[in-house]
Chain A
Protein backbone atom coordinates (compact mmCIF):
# COMPACT_ATOMS: atom_id res chain seq x y z
CA UNK A 1 0.00 0.00 0.00
CA UNK A 2 1.24 3.44 -0.85
CA UNK A 3 0.65 6.59 1.15
CA UNK A 4 -0.70 9.63 -0.67
CA UNK A 5 2.17 11.63 -2.20
CA UNK A 6 4.10 13.96 0.09
CA UNK A 7 7.28 15.98 -0.03
CA UNK A 8 10.13 14.87 2.22
CA UNK A 9 12.22 17.24 4.32
CA UNK A 10 15.02 16.26 6.61
CA UNK A 11 15.63 18.49 9.63
CA UNK A 12 19.20 18.62 10.95
CA UNK A 13 18.26 20.53 14.10
CA UNK A 14 15.25 21.40 16.22
CA UNK A 15 15.36 24.99 14.97
CA UNK A 16 15.22 23.77 11.39
CA UNK A 17 12.33 21.43 12.16
CA UNK A 18 10.32 24.29 13.68
CA UNK A 19 11.10 26.52 10.71
CA UNK A 20 9.99 23.79 8.29
CA UNK A 21 6.74 23.28 10.23
CA UNK A 22 6.03 27.00 9.89
CA UNK A 23 6.95 27.17 6.20
CA UNK A 24 5.15 24.02 5.12
CA UNK A 25 1.96 24.82 7.01
CA UNK A 26 -0.80 22.85 8.71
CA UNK A 27 -0.67 19.85 6.36
CA UNK A 28 2.94 19.08 7.24
CA UNK A 29 3.67 16.47 9.90
CA UNK A 30 6.75 15.49 11.85
CA UNK A 31 7.88 11.91 11.50
CA UNK A 32 9.93 10.13 14.17
CA UNK A 33 9.67 6.31 14.43
CA UNK A 34 6.63 6.32 12.17
CA UNK A 35 5.07 3.23 13.74
CA UNK A 36 1.69 4.95 14.13
CA UNK A 37 1.87 7.55 11.37
CA UNK A 38 3.03 5.32 8.51
CA UNK A 39 0.24 2.73 8.92
CA UNK A 40 -2.28 5.59 9.07
CA UNK A 41 -0.80 7.11 5.92
CA UNK A 42 -0.83 3.78 4.09
CA UNK A 43 -4.51 3.38 4.91
CA UNK A 44 -4.99 7.01 3.74
CA UNK A 45 -6.45 7.89 7.13
CA UNK A 46 -3.71 10.52 7.33
CA UNK A 47 -2.65 12.46 4.25
CA UNK A 48 0.06 14.93 5.18
CA UNK A 49 1.40 16.79 2.13
CA UNK A 50 4.86 17.09 3.68
CA UNK A 51 6.85 15.03 6.15
CA UNK A 52 9.60 16.52 8.27
CA UNK A 53 11.96 13.76 9.32
CA UNK A 54 13.50 14.44 12.75
CA UNK A 55 15.31 11.09 12.99
CA UNK A 56 18.55 12.81 12.06
CA UNK A 57 18.40 15.36 14.92
CA UNK A 58 21.08 13.79 17.07
CA UNK A 59 20.38 15.52 20.39
CA UNK A 60 16.98 13.84 20.87
CA UNK A 61 18.08 10.23 21.41
CA UNK A 62 19.71 10.33 24.84
CA UNK A 63 18.72 8.97 28.24
CA UNK A 64 20.25 11.04 31.07
CA UNK A 65 20.12 10.78 34.83
CA UNK A 66 20.67 14.13 36.50
CA UNK A 67 20.18 14.04 40.27
CA UNK A 68 16.78 12.69 41.21
CA UNK A 69 15.45 12.62 37.65
CA UNK A 70 15.39 10.58 34.50
CA UNK A 71 15.52 12.57 31.27
CA UNK A 72 14.35 10.65 28.23
CA UNK A 73 14.93 12.18 24.79
CA UNK A 74 11.91 12.21 22.49
CA UNK A 75 13.62 9.94 19.96
CA UNK A 76 14.48 7.25 22.52
CA UNK A 77 13.08 4.04 21.07
CA UNK A 78 10.97 1.75 23.25
CA UNK A 79 13.75 -0.85 22.96
CA UNK A 80 16.34 1.67 24.24
CA UNK A 81 14.37 2.03 27.47
CA UNK A 82 13.72 -1.71 27.64
CA UNK A 83 17.46 -2.37 27.66
CA UNK A 84 18.73 0.68 29.56
CA UNK A 85 20.04 0.47 33.10
CA UNK A 86 18.49 3.86 33.81
CA UNK A 87 15.08 2.61 32.68
CA UNK A 88 15.43 -0.40 34.95
CA UNK A 89 15.64 1.85 38.01
CA UNK A 90 11.92 2.52 37.50
CA UNK A 91 10.41 -0.96 37.01
CA UNK A 92 7.11 0.46 35.79
CA UNK A 93 8.90 2.04 32.82
CA UNK A 94 10.57 -1.25 32.01
CA UNK A 95 7.22 -3.08 32.19
CA UNK A 96 5.82 -0.66 29.65
CA UNK A 97 8.83 -0.44 27.31
CA UNK A 98 9.36 -4.19 27.11
CA UNK A 99 5.75 -4.98 26.26
CA UNK A 100 4.82 -2.46 23.58
CA UNK A 101 3.95 -4.30 20.35
CA UNK A 102 6.82 -6.57 19.22
CA UNK A 103 10.60 -6.45 18.91
CA UNK A 104 10.61 -4.75 15.51
CA UNK A 105 8.16 -2.02 16.50
CA UNK A 106 9.99 -1.41 19.80
CA UNK A 107 13.23 -1.01 17.86
CA UNK A 108 11.75 1.77 15.75
CA UNK A 109 8.92 3.47 17.67
CA UNK A 110 9.78 6.44 19.89
CA UNK A 111 8.51 7.52 23.30
CA UNK A 112 8.08 11.13 22.18
CA UNK A 113 6.13 10.10 19.11
CA UNK A 114 3.88 7.85 21.15
CA UNK A 115 2.98 10.67 23.55
CA UNK A 116 2.51 13.25 20.79
CA UNK A 117 0.22 10.83 18.93
CA UNK A 118 -1.95 10.59 22.10
CA UNK A 119 -3.65 7.41 20.99
CA UNK A 120 -6.20 6.44 23.68
CA UNK A 121 -4.74 2.92 23.60
CA UNK A 122 -1.10 4.02 23.74
CA UNK A 123 0.87 2.73 26.72
CA UNK A 124 3.18 5.62 27.55
CA UNK A 125 0.44 8.13 28.36
CA UNK A 126 -0.82 5.71 31.01
CA UNK A 127 2.51 4.56 32.43
CA UNK A 128 4.14 7.98 32.65
CA UNK A 129 1.09 9.50 34.33
CA UNK A 130 1.67 7.16 37.28
CA UNK A 131 4.95 9.03 37.83
CA UNK A 132 5.76 12.72 38.05
CA UNK A 133 6.40 13.45 34.39
CA UNK A 134 6.93 16.70 32.51
CA UNK A 135 6.90 17.07 28.75
CA UNK A 136 9.54 19.40 27.32
CA UNK A 137 8.31 21.18 24.20
CA UNK A 138 10.30 23.35 21.80
CA UNK A 139 8.78 25.96 19.51
CA UNK A 140 9.43 29.35 17.94
CA UNK A 141 9.30 31.00 21.37
CA UNK A 142 11.84 28.58 22.85
CA UNK A 143 11.27 25.83 25.35
CA UNK A 144 8.35 25.23 27.70
CA UNK A 145 7.64 22.53 30.25
CA UNK A 146 4.16 21.01 30.44
CA UNK A 147 3.11 18.58 33.19
CA UNK A 148 1.96 15.36 31.51
CA UNK A 149 -1.53 15.62 33.03
CA UNK A 150 -2.00 18.88 31.10
CA UNK A 151 -0.29 17.70 27.91
CA UNK A 152 -2.87 15.24 26.55
CA UNK A 153 -6.24 16.96 26.14
CA UNK A 154 -8.33 14.41 24.32
CA UNK A 155 -8.03 11.39 22.01
CA UNK A 156 -5.24 12.14 19.50
CA UNK A 157 -5.08 15.71 20.81
CA UNK A 158 -2.32 17.41 22.79
CA UNK A 159 -1.54 21.01 23.75
CA UNK A 160 1.28 21.09 21.18
CA UNK A 161 1.00 23.96 18.71
CA UNK A 162 1.51 23.07 15.06
CA UNK A 163 5.05 24.42 15.14
CA UNK A 164 6.03 22.81 18.45
CA UNK A 165 8.01 19.62 19.01
CA UNK A 166 8.30 17.29 22.00
CA UNK A 167 12.01 17.11 22.77
CA UNK A 168 12.19 15.16 26.03
CA UNK A 169 10.36 13.79 29.04
CA UNK A 170 11.55 14.53 32.53
CA UNK A 171 10.54 11.92 35.09
CA UNK A 172 11.12 12.39 38.82
CA UNK A 173 12.68 9.27 40.32
CA UNK A 174 10.23 7.70 42.79
CA UNK A 175 11.25 7.99 46.44
CA UNK A 176 12.65 5.11 48.44
CA UNK A 177 9.87 2.89 49.74
CA UNK A 178 7.80 3.20 46.60
CA UNK A 179 7.19 0.78 43.79
CA UNK A 180 5.09 0.56 40.68
CA UNK A 181 3.85 -1.67 37.91
CA UNK A 182 2.38 -1.25 34.44
CA UNK A 183 0.16 -4.14 33.39
CA UNK A 184 -1.61 -4.50 30.09
CA UNK A 185 -3.68 -7.22 28.54
CA UNK A 186 -3.68 -7.75 24.80
CA UNK A 187 -4.81 -10.47 22.40
CA UNK A 188 -1.39 -10.90 20.80
CA UNK A 189 1.94 -9.09 20.65
CA UNK A 190 1.61 -6.60 17.77
CA UNK A 191 -1.75 -5.08 18.77
CA UNK A 192 -2.75 -2.37 21.23
CA UNK A 193 -3.88 -3.58 24.66
CA UNK A 194 -7.53 -4.16 25.46
CA UNK A 195 -6.97 -2.45 28.80
CA UNK A 196 -4.01 -1.38 30.90
CA UNK A 197 -3.29 -0.15 34.42
CA UNK A 198 -0.35 1.69 35.92
CA UNK A 199 0.04 1.81 39.67
CA UNK A 200 2.68 3.50 41.81
CA UNK A 201 2.48 3.12 45.60
CA UNK A 202 4.50 4.39 48.53
CA UNK A 203 4.68 2.05 51.51
CA UNK A 204 5.49 2.61 55.18
CA UNK A 205 5.90 0.14 58.03
CA UNK A 206 5.69 -2.91 55.80
CA UNK A 207 2.09 -2.68 54.60
CA UNK A 208 0.77 0.84 55.17
CA UNK A 209 0.05 2.70 51.92
CA UNK A 210 1.23 6.27 52.34
CA UNK A 211 0.46 7.33 48.80
CA UNK A 212 -0.88 5.80 45.59
CA UNK A 213 -1.30 6.76 41.99
CA UNK A 214 -3.62 4.65 39.82
CA UNK A 215 -3.96 5.25 36.08
CA UNK A 216 -6.24 3.37 33.68
CA UNK A 217 -5.44 3.00 29.98
CA UNK A 218 -7.51 2.10 26.86
CA UNK A 219 -10.76 2.60 28.77
CA UNK A 220 -11.47 6.23 27.88
CA UNK A 221 -10.53 8.92 25.37
CA UNK A 222 -7.36 9.57 27.39
CA UNK A 223 -5.67 7.76 30.25
CA UNK A 224 -7.83 8.14 33.36
CA UNK A 225 -6.51 8.93 36.81
CA UNK A 226 -8.69 6.91 39.21
CA UNK A 227 -8.60 9.29 42.17
CA UNK A 228 -11.24 7.46 44.21
CA UNK A 229 -9.31 4.25 43.81
CA UNK A 230 -6.20 6.06 45.07
CA UNK A 231 -8.16 7.41 48.05
CA UNK A 232 -9.30 3.87 48.86
CA UNK A 233 -5.66 2.95 49.50
CA UNK A 234 -4.11 6.12 50.92
CA UNK A 235 -3.49 5.81 54.65
CA UNK A 236 -4.78 2.22 54.69
CA UNK A 237 -3.07 -1.13 54.93
CA UNK A 238 -2.67 -2.98 51.67
CA UNK A 239 -4.91 -5.86 52.63
CA UNK A 240 -7.25 -7.65 50.28
CA UNK A 241 -10.39 -5.81 51.36
CA UNK A 242 -8.88 -2.38 50.64
CA UNK A 243 -7.35 -3.51 47.36
CA UNK A 244 -10.76 -4.83 46.29
CA UNK A 245 -12.37 -1.49 47.14
CA UNK A 246 -9.74 0.29 45.05
CA UNK A 247 -10.29 -2.06 42.11
CA UNK A 248 -14.06 -1.46 42.30
CA UNK A 249 -13.48 2.29 42.35
CA UNK A 250 -11.21 1.92 39.31
CA UNK A 251 -13.95 0.02 37.47
CA UNK A 252 -16.37 2.83 38.26
CA UNK A 253 -13.91 5.43 36.97
CA UNK A 254 -13.38 3.63 33.65
CA UNK A 255 -15.29 4.88 30.62
CA UNK A 256 -14.68 2.18 28.00
CA UNK A 257 -16.23 1.80 24.56
CA UNK A 258 -17.16 -1.49 22.93
CA UNK A 259 -14.98 -2.29 19.94
CA UNK A 260 -13.23 -5.23 18.28
CA UNK A 261 -11.03 -5.64 21.36
CA UNK A 262 -13.99 -6.33 23.62
CA UNK A 263 -17.27 -5.02 24.98
CA UNK A 264 -17.38 -2.09 27.36
CA UNK A 265 -18.48 -4.39 30.18
CA UNK A 266 -15.61 -6.77 29.55
CA UNK A 267 -13.05 -3.96 29.54
CA UNK A 268 -14.47 -2.54 32.76
CA UNK A 269 -14.07 -5.87 34.53
CA UNK A 270 -10.63 -6.41 33.00
CA UNK A 271 -9.23 -3.03 34.03
CA UNK A 272 -10.29 -3.62 37.65
CA UNK A 273 -8.48 -6.95 37.65
CA UNK A 274 -5.36 -5.34 36.21
CA UNK A 275 -5.48 -2.66 38.91
CA UNK A 276 -5.78 -5.30 41.61
CA UNK A 277 -2.81 -7.24 40.29
CA UNK A 278 -0.76 -4.10 39.69
CA UNK A 279 -1.27 -2.94 43.28
CA UNK A 280 0.02 -6.29 44.52
CA UNK A 281 3.11 -6.19 42.31
CA UNK A 282 3.76 -2.50 43.06
CA UNK A 283 3.64 -3.22 46.80
CA UNK A 284 6.02 -6.17 46.50
CA UNK A 285 8.44 -4.04 44.53
CA UNK A 286 8.12 -1.24 47.07
CA UNK A 287 9.33 -3.73 49.67
CA UNK A 288 12.37 -4.44 47.53
CA UNK A 289 11.23 -7.65 45.84
CA UNK A 290 12.13 -8.19 42.21
CA UNK A 291 9.00 -9.14 40.28
CA UNK A 292 8.58 -9.67 36.54
CA UNK A 293 5.49 -8.05 35.08
CA UNK A 294 4.21 -6.26 32.03
CA UNK A 295 2.01 -7.02 29.06
CA UNK A 296 0.17 -10.31 29.03
CA UNK A 297 -1.17 -12.22 26.10
CA UNK A 298 -1.66 -15.82 25.08
CA UNK A 299 1.72 -17.51 24.95
CA UNK A 300 3.67 -14.85 26.76
Chain B
Protein backbone atom coordinates (compact mmCIF):
# COMPACT_ATOMS: atom_id res chain seq x y z
CA UNK B 1 0.00 0.00 0.00
CA UNK B 2 1.58 3.31 -1.03
CA UNK B 3 1.80 6.25 1.32
CA UNK B 4 -1.47 7.99 0.54
CA UNK B 5 -0.80 11.02 2.68
CA UNK B 6 -3.52 13.60 2.23
CA UNK B 7 -2.75 16.66 0.16
CA UNK B 8 -3.89 20.20 0.87
CA UNK B 9 -5.69 21.64 -2.15
CA UNK B 10 -6.30 25.38 -2.23
CA UNK B 11 -8.39 26.93 -4.98
CA UNK B 12 -10.55 29.95 -5.65
CA UNK B 13 -14.04 28.79 -6.57
CA UNK B 14 -16.42 31.40 -7.95
CA UNK B 15 -14.22 34.11 -6.47
CA UNK B 16 -14.02 32.58 -3.01
CA UNK B 17 -10.89 30.99 -1.47
CA UNK B 18 -11.59 27.37 -0.53
CA UNK B 19 -9.39 24.56 0.68
CA UNK B 20 -9.54 20.97 1.86
CA UNK B 21 -7.16 18.13 2.65
CA UNK B 22 -7.92 15.20 0.41
CA UNK B 23 -6.57 11.85 -0.69
CA UNK B 24 -4.55 12.38 -3.89
CA UNK B 25 -6.92 10.20 -5.93
CA UNK B 26 -9.83 12.54 -5.23
CA UNK B 27 -11.17 13.71 -8.56
CA UNK B 28 -11.75 17.43 -9.00
CA UNK B 29 -15.49 16.80 -9.40
CA UNK B 30 -15.63 14.89 -6.09
CA UNK B 31 -13.54 17.61 -4.45
CA UNK B 32 -16.12 20.20 -5.53
CA UNK B 33 -19.15 18.09 -4.66
CA UNK B 34 -18.12 16.17 -1.55
CA UNK B 35 -15.56 18.45 0.07
CA UNK B 36 -16.78 21.92 -0.90
CA UNK B 37 -20.48 20.95 -1.06
CA UNK B 38 -20.87 22.48 -4.53
CA UNK B 39 -23.18 19.88 -6.02
CA UNK B 40 -24.13 21.86 -9.13
CA UNK B 41 -21.34 20.14 -11.04
CA UNK B 42 -22.61 16.71 -12.03
CA UNK B 43 -20.97 13.32 -12.42
CA UNK B 44 -22.36 11.90 -15.65
CA UNK B 45 -20.51 9.16 -17.46
CA UNK B 46 -17.39 9.42 -15.29
CA UNK B 47 -15.33 8.39 -18.35
CA UNK B 48 -14.27 11.71 -19.98
CA UNK B 49 -17.11 11.50 -22.48
CA UNK B 50 -20.29 13.32 -21.53
CA UNK B 51 -19.12 16.69 -20.18
CA UNK B 52 -21.73 16.96 -17.37
CA UNK B 53 -18.78 17.61 -15.00
CA UNK B 54 -17.41 20.51 -17.08
CA UNK B 55 -16.02 23.42 -15.03
CA UNK B 56 -13.81 26.34 -15.99
CA UNK B 57 -10.28 26.04 -14.57
CA UNK B 58 -7.95 28.99 -15.10
CA UNK B 59 -10.09 30.31 -17.95
CA UNK B 60 -10.54 27.01 -19.79
CA UNK B 61 -13.22 24.35 -19.66
CA UNK B 62 -12.08 20.97 -18.38
CA UNK B 63 -13.81 17.72 -17.50
CA UNK B 64 -13.51 17.66 -13.73
CA UNK B 65 -13.94 13.87 -13.63
CA UNK B 66 -10.61 13.63 -15.45
CA UNK B 67 -8.41 15.65 -13.14
CA UNK B 68 -7.08 14.74 -9.74
CA UNK B 69 -7.86 17.57 -7.32
CA UNK B 70 -4.18 18.26 -6.40
CA UNK B 71 -3.51 19.07 -10.07
CA UNK B 72 -5.88 22.05 -9.76
CA UNK B 73 -4.10 23.44 -6.68
CA UNK B 74 -3.75 27.22 -6.85
CA UNK B 75 -6.30 27.39 -9.64
CA UNK B 76 -9.24 29.65 -10.31
CA UNK B 77 -12.44 27.67 -10.83
CA UNK B 78 -15.88 28.67 -12.08
CA UNK B 79 -18.72 26.23 -11.50
CA UNK B 80 -22.37 26.59 -12.43
CA UNK B 81 -22.97 28.12 -8.98
CA UNK B 82 -20.80 31.06 -10.05
CA UNK B 83 -22.93 32.07 -13.03
CA UNK B 84 -25.81 33.92 -11.38
CA UNK B 85 -25.08 37.24 -9.71
CA UNK B 86 -27.10 38.80 -6.85
CA UNK B 87 -29.95 36.36 -7.32
CA UNK B 88 -30.18 37.11 -11.03
CA UNK B 89 -29.60 34.38 -13.59
CA UNK B 90 -26.77 34.72 -16.10
CA UNK B 91 -28.01 35.51 -19.65
CA UNK B 92 -26.92 32.02 -20.71
CA UNK B 93 -29.08 30.48 -17.99
CA UNK B 94 -32.00 32.72 -18.94
CA UNK B 95 -31.66 31.73 -22.59
CA UNK B 96 -31.61 28.00 -21.78
CA UNK B 97 -34.76 28.43 -19.70
CA UNK B 98 -36.46 30.56 -22.34
CA UNK B 99 -35.67 28.26 -25.28
CA UNK B 100 -36.27 24.97 -23.44
CA UNK B 101 -32.58 24.13 -23.79
CA UNK B 102 -33.02 21.46 -21.13
CA UNK B 103 -35.41 18.76 -20.05
CA UNK B 104 -33.99 16.67 -17.19
CA UNK B 105 -31.23 19.22 -16.69
CA UNK B 106 -28.50 16.73 -15.86
CA UNK B 107 -26.15 17.86 -18.65
CA UNK B 108 -27.04 21.55 -18.22
CA UNK B 109 -24.33 22.74 -15.80
CA UNK B 110 -21.68 21.49 -18.21
CA UNK B 111 -23.41 22.93 -21.26
CA UNK B 112 -23.75 26.33 -19.60
CA UNK B 113 -20.01 26.51 -18.92
CA UNK B 114 -19.09 25.24 -22.38
CA UNK B 115 -21.40 27.93 -23.79
CA UNK B 116 -19.70 30.58 -21.66
CA UNK B 117 -16.30 29.52 -23.01
CA UNK B 118 -17.64 29.42 -26.59
CA UNK B 119 -19.17 32.90 -26.38
CA UNK B 120 -15.96 34.34 -24.96
CA UNK B 121 -14.24 33.19 -28.12
CA UNK B 122 -16.98 33.92 -30.66
CA UNK B 123 -19.52 36.56 -29.68
CA UNK B 124 -21.82 35.47 -32.58
CA UNK B 125 -20.86 31.84 -33.26
CA UNK B 126 -21.83 30.11 -36.49
CA UNK B 127 -23.68 26.79 -36.27
CA UNK B 128 -20.41 25.05 -37.05
CA UNK B 129 -18.65 26.84 -34.22
CA UNK B 130 -21.47 25.94 -31.82
CA UNK B 131 -21.31 22.31 -32.89
CA UNK B 132 -17.58 22.18 -32.30
CA UNK B 133 -17.84 24.18 -29.09
CA UNK B 134 -20.29 21.78 -27.44
CA UNK B 135 -19.02 18.56 -29.02
CA UNK B 136 -17.74 17.51 -25.60
CA UNK B 137 -21.16 17.81 -23.98
CA UNK B 138 -23.73 15.08 -24.40
CA UNK B 139 -27.47 15.64 -23.94
CA UNK B 140 -29.66 12.54 -24.02
CA UNK B 141 -33.12 14.05 -23.74
CA UNK B 142 -33.61 17.59 -25.03
CA UNK B 143 -31.85 17.03 -28.29
CA UNK B 144 -29.61 19.73 -29.57
CA UNK B 145 -32.02 21.94 -31.53
CA UNK B 146 -33.19 23.87 -28.51
CA UNK B 147 -29.69 24.01 -27.09
CA UNK B 148 -28.56 25.69 -30.32
CA UNK B 149 -31.46 28.13 -30.03
CA UNK B 150 -30.48 28.86 -26.43
CA UNK B 151 -26.87 29.53 -27.36
CA UNK B 152 -27.87 31.84 -30.22
CA UNK B 153 -30.23 33.75 -27.94
CA UNK B 154 -27.59 34.02 -25.18
CA UNK B 155 -25.09 35.34 -27.73
CA UNK B 156 -27.51 38.03 -28.90
CA UNK B 157 -28.42 38.96 -25.33
CA UNK B 158 -24.81 39.15 -24.14
CA UNK B 159 -23.82 41.28 -27.11
CA UNK B 160 -26.48 43.84 -26.14
CA UNK B 161 -25.10 44.23 -22.60
Contact = CB atoms under 8 A, between A and B. Distances in A.
Given A35-B48, A51-B24, A107-B62, A6 B4 contact: yes
Nearest to A83: B121
Nearest to A51: B24
Given A102-B135, A105-B136, 18 more contacts: A1-B46, A2-B25, A5-B1, A6-B2, A7-B2, A8-B5, A10-B73, A34-B67, A41-B25, A53-B71, A101-B136, A102-B137, A103-B118, A103-B136, A105-B66, A107-B60, A108-B67, A300-B132
Given A34-B66, A39-B47, A8 B24 contact: yes
11 contacts: A1-B46, A3-B68, A5-B1, A8-B5, A10-B70, A39-B48, A42-B47, A101-B136, A103-B136, A188-B135, A190-B135
A53 B70 contact: yes
Contacts of B3: 7
Contacts of B48: 35, 38-39, 105, 190
Interface string B126-139: 00100111011100
Contacts of A1: 46
Interface residues of A, number: 34
B66 A5 contact: no
B23 A189 contact: no
A5 B136 contact: no
Interface in B55-77: 60-63, 66-68, 70-71, 73
Contacts of A50: 2
Contact of A8 (B7, B66, B117): B7
Nearest to A47: B2
Interface string B83-94: 000000000000
B71 A107 contact: no
Interface of A: 1-8, 10, 31, 34-35, 38-39, 41-42, 49-51, 53, 55, 79, 101-105, 107-108, 188-190, 299-300
B25 A3 contact: yes
A53 B51 CA distance: 24
B46 A104 contact: no
Contacts of B68: 3, 8, 31, 34, 38, 51
Given A7-B24, A8-B24, A79-B60, A103 B46 contact: no
B79 interface: no
A254 to B, nearest CB: 27
B78 interface: no
Contact of A300 (B51, B54, B71, B131): B131
